[in-house]
Amino acid sequence: MQSIPVDTARLGVLRCAIPPEVKYSNAETKEVKKDREGNPVWTVAVMVRQEARRISVIEIAVPGDQKGVTEGTEVRVTGLVAFAWAMGDRHGISFRANAITPVPPGTGKTGGAE
């Protein structure tokens, strides 16, 4: 799988749609998925809104629980990459990031100085 870096500065306002949830490699046994370094992988659903366009939601896998990221919080995504995948007749794009952190109030793109 080839990773494609994503320029988050061009994505507009990013907000948490669904707070971090642990990702399972096996949902039946509740075995937690781990990254190459052995860190647990979490998933965060992030809303992407570019100016007046419609909102898209992407799920981003990140290592570890992202503290302070709650529903509706404006967030900053660091090291976002996209991966195209295919399994049989199914295909899609998945996203992974190094971190997702809350934007302090008054410093985001929707208000205050950037």
Q: What is the pLDDT of residues 28-43, one digit of tens each?
A: 999 999 999 999 999 9
Q: How far apart are CA 102 and CA 76, in angstroms?
A: 6
Residue 16 in contact with residue 25, Cβ under 8 Å?
no
The pLDDT-based confidence of 78 (bands split at 50, 70, 90) is very high
Of 5-9, 18-22, 108-112, least confident by mean pLDDT is: 108-112
- Return all residues near 47 (Cβ < 8 A) that are at least 6 apart: 14, 15, 16, 17, 55, 56, 57
pLDDT at 18: 95
The class level of CATH for 3-102 reads mainly beta
Residue 110 in contact with residue 74, Cβ under 8 Å?
yes
pLDDT at 113: 38
- Return all residues near 62 (Cβ < 8 A) that are at least 6 apart: 20, 41, 42, 43, 44, 96, 97, 98, 99, 100
pLDDT at 111: 43
Indicate the pTM of the whole model. Answer: 0.84
